[in-house]
Amino acid sequence: TQLLEQSPQFLSIQEGENLTVYCNSSSVFSSLQWYRQEPGEGPVLLVTVVTGGEVKKLKRLTFQFGDARKDSSLHITAAQPGDTGLYLCAGAPIGDMRFGAGTRLTVKP
């Protein structure tokens, strides 16, 4: 089992739809990060959430850190084809960074 479980593994939607992807763990994290990786590129950091219950917004993306700091969610409003990519959550419960397996999002025009 992985330290960080992401769901769904794959998500294919039409442009304009809303979606939520999840990152869950049985461990407590001091912070969690979300990355987006496009095909053929390295991951790019989107946000870091630090405080339990924290909500951060990045344009149409809303990130939430669970109250118990064991889970996080990413909500995208009115998805666009440019949102297509692999979304990874990551955290360091005991010092070294661990990544989830990712959610592969495809937004069709």
Partner 1 sequence: DTAVSQTPKYLVTQMGNDKSIKCEQNLGHDTMYWYKQDSKKFLKIMFSYNNKELIINETVPNRFSPKSPDKAHLNLHINSLELGDSAVYFCASSQDSGGSPPKQYFGPGTRLTVT
Residues in the site for partner 1, rule: CB under 8 A? 2, 30-31, 33, 37, 40-45, 48, 50, 86, 88, 90-92, 95-99, 101-102, 104
* Cβ 30 vs Cβ 11: under 8 Å: no
Strands 103-108 and 10-14: parallel
**Closer residue to partner 1 in complex, CB, 79/89:** 89
> Which residue number, 75 or 99, has a Cβ lying nearer to partner 1?
99
- For the bound state, the minimum distance from the C-beta of residue 109 to partner 1, rounded and expressed in Å, comes to 23
The distance of closest approach from Cβ of residue 102 to partner 1 in the complex, given in angstroms and rounded to an integer, is 5
Nearer to partner 1, 40 or 109 (CB): 40
We find the least distance from the C-beta atom of residue 96 to partner 1, in angstroms, to be 5
Nearest Cα to Cα of residue 105 among 47, 55, 49, 35? 35
At position 35, the amino acid (one-letter code) is Y
Assess contact for 44 and 34: CB atoms under 8 A: no
Q: Which is nearer to partner 1, 15 or 101 (CB)?
A: 101
Strand 32-37 to 85-91 pairing: antiparallel
